[in-house]
Amino acid sequence: VDGLLLLPMEHLPEAVHVAALRAFHNPVVLIDQVWNGAEFDYVGSDNRGGMATLVERLIAAGHRKIGSVFFSEVSSGEERKAGFLDAMFRHNLPVDARFLFEVHDPKNSYEEICRALDQPERPDALVCFNDYLANDALNAAYDLGIRVPDELAITGFGNLPLSEKLRPMLTTVDQHAFQIGQAAARLLMERITSNETGPYRTQLIPTEPIIRQSCIC
């Protein structure tokens, strides 16, 4: 094996796994997620900037009580949460702790989102870590009788094929996954052929908001 492309894992690698990767003397390129102390090339999306741009669109549409559903145990979750806060602080909007929901087990996210939305006070917009969590949020809103987007705007992140099949169709952020794959493969080949011999590189692919019917933007 001349090189490895390492796609996201469900859980952060333990020390023994990181040591095994470092013992592999050929190039390794991480895709989409990274972790503290990872000494490898990395190609991902501009998570922070993409989320900030999406929240800016919600703010421009008049939303002020903006909540979030994040899974911050991975680097992309941390970056998207930071982008959410960037936009809120830039516009001097309050970040209400009651509307910040952290999912600890994506398999149980529907129940967690239901409990969060079934309160006397709730946000008028909800930005989600990815399209899967946004799908759960749409289902929770439907089951609770909350009209989307009239009473609650919901957005995702990723622009998965799922996002166009939902009703209402999901507003999201396109990560340009094809370009991420191309860039990662190109970087790996450059390392293998020794055309790239410099220090470890981080390459972020620009993102693009995709506005659909789940929010009025």
pLDDT band at 112 (very low <50, low <70, confident <90, very high): confident
How far apart are the C-alpha atoms of 65 and 174, rounded to whole Å?
A: 24
Residue 9, Cβ neighbours under 10 Å: how many? 11
pLDDT band at 197 (very low <50, low <70, confident <90, very high): confident
SS3 state at 190: helix
How far apart are the C-alpha atoms of 83 and 53, rounded to whole Å?
A: 8
What DSSP assignment string belongs to 75-95? Answer: HHHHHHHHHHHHHHHHTT---
Give me the pLDDT at residue 166, please.
Answer: 96
3-class secondary structure per residue, 16-71: HHHHHHHHCCCCEEEECCCCCCCCCEEEEECHHHHHHHHHHHHHHCCCCCEEEEEC
Strand partners, 153: 125
pLDDT in tens, 5-29: 999 877 778 889 888 998 998 999 9
pLDDT in tens, 68-80: 999 988 899 999 9
Q: What is the pTM of this model?
A: 0.93
